[in-house]
């Protein structure tokens, strides 16, 4: 539980900087995405006033209300939840990034809602080791899906996102992050402009940074625990 999100924010930023330093990378190259699902607009506003700009949301209706309530702030919104095809149009219009593109059908639906002068930033979500999860493309399907995103006129391919299986021992989790780094390096050979590897959450973001994450998605460590039903 965090009583003061501003204090928690400074602590998380310091931990990111320390982990980046330990990994030998410039701390400014690791971005923090503040995951605000199940948290009120007022909590987002407090963090924005402390300097945070990028926020992640999982559910369109919940996010839309907060995006409207905070329209006076120049925030950057990332959709990180499971994406249904019938929501693609509104997600593409309301969000700046979508991190959960995991099947070819979503590509044209998202692209159609944007224009080439204002493309939607896209990460392809990879199912790196969680056989129970229905989200994320198989690593074998990644090259074709990434190529489809890269050639869609309304989209800009920025990189990869992963959510490793929960409740793993640290060695297995580290292996999943390392496998993502390998996929990211291979992707960059085909798409040199790609710059974002989104992995690591409250429990393991330092480990993810050690394995090359350029964006970590942190909710609980910033805002405190969520009600169990909200995931």
Ligand X SMILES: *Cc1c(COP(=O)(O)O)cnc(C)c1O
Instruction: Tell me the per-residue interface mask from 7 to 46 with ligand X, x by CB under 6 A, - otherwise.
Output: ----------------------------x-x---------
Q: Is 105 exposed, middle or buried, given 0-12, 13-18 or 19+ CB atoms closer than 10 A?
A: exposed
CB atoms under 10 Å from CB of 166, counted, come to 11
- Rounded distance between C-alpha atoms, residue 162 and residue 160, angstroms: 7
- Rounded distance between C-alpha atoms, residue 215 and residue 115, angstroms: 26
Question: 26 — alpha (psi -120 to 50), left (phi > 0) or beta?
Answer: beta
Stretch that binds ligand X, among 47-55, 59-67, 150-158, 217-225 (CB under 6 A): 217-225
202 sits near ligand X (criterion: CB under 6 A): yes
Judged by DSSP in three states, 147 sits in helix
Stretch that binds ligand X, among 19-27, 61-69, 140-148, 214-222 (CB under 6 A): 214-222
58 sits near ligand X (criterion: CB under 6 A): yes
159 sits near ligand X (criterion: CB under 6 A): no
216 sits near ligand X (criterion: CB under 6 A): no
Residues lying near ligand X in the complex (CB under 6 A) are found at: 35, 37, 58, 80, 163, 201-203, 217-221
């Amino acid at each position: 539980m965090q009583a003061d999100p501003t204090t928690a924010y400074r602590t998380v930023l310091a931990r990111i900087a320390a982990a980046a330093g330990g990994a030998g990378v410039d701390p400014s190259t690791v971005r923090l995405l503040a995951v605000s699902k199940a948290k009120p607009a007022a909590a987002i506003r407090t963090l924005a006033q402390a300097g945070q700009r990028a926020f992640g949301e999982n559910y369109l209706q919940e996010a839309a209300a907060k995006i409207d309530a905070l329209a006076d702030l120049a925030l950057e919104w990332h959709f990180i939840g499971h994406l249904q095809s019938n929501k693609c149009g509104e997600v593409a219009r309301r969000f700046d990034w979508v991190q959960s593109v995991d099947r070819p059908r979503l590509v044209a639906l998202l692209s159609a809602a944007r224009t080439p002068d204002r493309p939607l930033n896209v990460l392809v979500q990879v199912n790196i080791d969680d056989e129970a999860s229905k989200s994320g493309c198989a690593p074998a399907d990644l090259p074709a899906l990434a190529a489809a995103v890269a050639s869609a006129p309304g989209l800009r391919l920025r990189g990869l996102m992963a959510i490793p299986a929960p409740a793993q021992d640290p060695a297995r989790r580290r292996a999943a992050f390392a496998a993502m780094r390998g996929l990211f390096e291979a992707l960059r050979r085909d798409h040199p402009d790609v710059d974002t590897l989104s992995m690591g959450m409250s429990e393991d973001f330092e480990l993810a940074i050690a394995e090359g994450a350029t964006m970590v998605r942190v909710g609980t460590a910033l805002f405190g625990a969520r009600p169990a039903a909200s995931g």
